[in-house]
Amino acid sequence: MAVRSFPSTRTGAPSVRLAKPTEVELAEQIQPVRGMNDVLPAQIGAWQHLEGSVRELLTGYGYEEIRVPVVEHTELFRRAIGEFTDVVPVSATAGDQTDLLADLLIAQLPAGPALYPDDMTTDEDVEARIADLIREAALDGVRDELPHSIAVTVEEMQPRDDALTFVYATLHLERSSQKGIVIGAKGARLKAIGTRARAGIEDLLGGRVHLDLHVAVEADWQRNPKKLDRLGF
């Protein structure tokens, strides 16, 4: 007997379906569920070996095996979740079929009226977008050392006649101990932040930019409503 298997990201053994014994007939007569692959007789041994190895490994760590249905009967599935158009096993960790899932979701979105003009990409003002670019540059590479306790304000923007714009901004931290992380040895980290942020700001403004950054400590600003309001939150 040949076996049809439906792989899934859920724990448990594949469900099986009996079919005719030749692979030619299997290939011609069995249509795989959309987004899934069939395991034909030639691969069954490899599947069983893989299952056995994983089972032995996890059992050694004290895990117990459970058996759950991988793909329910269409009627039971519909009763559980309502009407559907596709069944797509995905893995966010490995990125398996995430693009397919996104495409299928977009295809199901209803058409609606335009909420903004065609040439409008955001409802944020320029200063808010510049602050976001600076904050993104400051957090790059230091997410473990510096939690999301950093805010950025643009203090002033001064366009000049020679197409150079001066931008003065402040990075606000919650603790003095965080200043060393942001500034770095001899200011190297702060300089790198400015270099990366300036490139994005120049793309945004369409011209050359002189970026002047300062670092200040606003103790516990995330817990203070007045400070949150002053920092634009």
Q: pLDDT tens across 17-30, in order? A: 444 446 666 555 55
- Report DSSP letters for 56-112, one per residue: HHHHHTT-------SS--HHHHHHHH---S-----BTTTTBTHHHHHHHHHHHSPP-
Evaluate whether the domain defined by 126-230 bears CATH number 3.40.50.300: no
Q: Where in the chain is the domain with CATH 3.30.300.20?
A: 126-230
φ and ψ at residue 166, rounded to 5 degrees: -90, 130
Query: 205 CB contacts (<8 Å, ≥6 apart)?
Result: 126, 165
Q: pLDDT tens across 206-225, in order? A: 899 999 999 988 887 777 78
**Is pLDDT at 10 greater than 50 in this prediction?**
no
**Is pLDDT at 141 greater than 80 in this prediction?**
no
Residues of the chain by 3-state class (helix, strand, coil), percent to 5: 40, 15, 40
